[in-house]
Structure formats: C-alpha cells, structure tokens
C-alpha cells in the first residue's frame, strides 16, 4: 500500500483524535516502518491493519467503522489527484462508474505495480447502483467511506448497505448505494 495512504491515515487520526493518539498508536504497534511513511513508497498492507486495530483498541470504534470514517476523510485527497481525468463527471453515479474505468486505469499508467480493487456495476433502478467490490485487501468499509465522501462532494444523500461481504464469508462484497 502506498505511503500516501498511511500519511492520510496519520492526518485522519490527528484531526479526529489528536496527535497524542497517533503517537500512542505508533508506540503500541510493532511496525517495520516505525510509523515513518514516504508518500511514494510502498508498505505492507498489514501495517495499516495493525494501525486500524490499535486505534480501535484505544477508542470506542470498531476497525470497520474507522475504515469507513477514514475513507470519507480521505476521499478529497484522492479526488484531487484524479480531477483532470474526470473533469466532465458531474454526478455521484457517473463518478463511481469512472473509478474502475478511468481512475484505476490512470493509477496503473502512473505505477504499473500498483494494486487497485476491481469494481463491477449494476443499476437495477435509476436511483440504485450496486458495486461489486473485489480485492485481496478486503477493505470494503474503506470503499464505503470513499463512496460517502463522494456523495458528500456531489451533494447527494445516500443510503449504503452490503448484501454480500467477504467478512461474512462471501467471495466478494456487494455495496448497494441508493439515492
């Protein structure tokens, strides 16, 4: 996982919980990086999961809730990196459909070794988008948070649920977004 995600997670913790909690999370977690991340470098996914688990231990939140909240927080950072590729997109559902078809393609051009999740889309109704999330990382709650951040950006109230989830034994996650 790119160091920029870890840097974003540090900023999230500092904003939501304070610098002292970030320092405590780092102190309580045996990390290969010692909690020092360069945005362009790649780090083991397990480091982020260790940080999430430790933050959950120190707060009243679950690691899944933290992932969702962090995703919502981190959306603007990711969006600012992709705006030139989706400048014609003006609504939530078109943006979400562009994630796999445009944004992840551009990520792979910039870094062929980058790992991105795969999304497949279905629109059973005009106001519903179902996203199949497939990823070895199993960060569907982070994906939900990114969707919530996108909904906020596009000023679109949404309801999100999962009808399938890898954390419940399914092969993939189905994220249902209703406007």
Mean pLDDT value across residues 143-157:
98
Cα–chain center distance at 27: 24
Q: What is the pLDDT of residues 5-19, one digit of tens each?
A: 999 999 999 999 999
Mean pLDDT value across residues 50-64:
97
Q: What is the pLDDT of residues 66-100, one digit of tens each?
A: 999 999 999 999 999 887 888 889 999 999 999 98
Residue 163 belongs to what H/E stretch? strand 159-164
The residue ranges of every structural domain in the chain are: 3-61, 89-178
List beta partners, residue 129. Answer: 177
Q: What is the pLDDT of residue 121?
A: 97
This prediction's pTM: 0.95
Tell me, which fold does domain 89-178 have in CATH? H-NOX domain (3.90.1520)
Mean pLDDT value across residues 47-52:
97
């Amino acid at each position: 996982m790119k160091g920029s995600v870890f840097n974003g997670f540090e900023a999230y913790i500092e904003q939501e919980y304070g610098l002292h909690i970030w320092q405590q999370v780092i102190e309580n977690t045996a990390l290969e990086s010692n909690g020092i991340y360069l945005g362009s470098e790649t780090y083991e996914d397990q480091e982020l999961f260790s940080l999430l688990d430790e933050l959950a231990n120190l707060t009243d939140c679950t690691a899944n809730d933290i992932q969702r909240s962090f995703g919502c927080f981190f959306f603007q950072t990711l969006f600012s990196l992709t705006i030139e590729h989706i400048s014609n997109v003006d609504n939530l559902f078109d943006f979400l459909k562009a994630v796999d078809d445009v944004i992840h393609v551009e990520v792979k051009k910039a870094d062929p070794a980058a790992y991105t999740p795969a999304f497949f889309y279905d629109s059973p109704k005009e106001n519903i988008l179902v996203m199949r999330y497939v990823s070895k990382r199993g960060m569907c709650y982070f994906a939900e948070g990114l969707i919530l951040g996108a909904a906020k950006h596009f000023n679109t109230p949404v309801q999100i649920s999962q009808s399938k989830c890898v954390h419940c034994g399914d092969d993939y996650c189905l994220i249902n977004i209703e406007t």
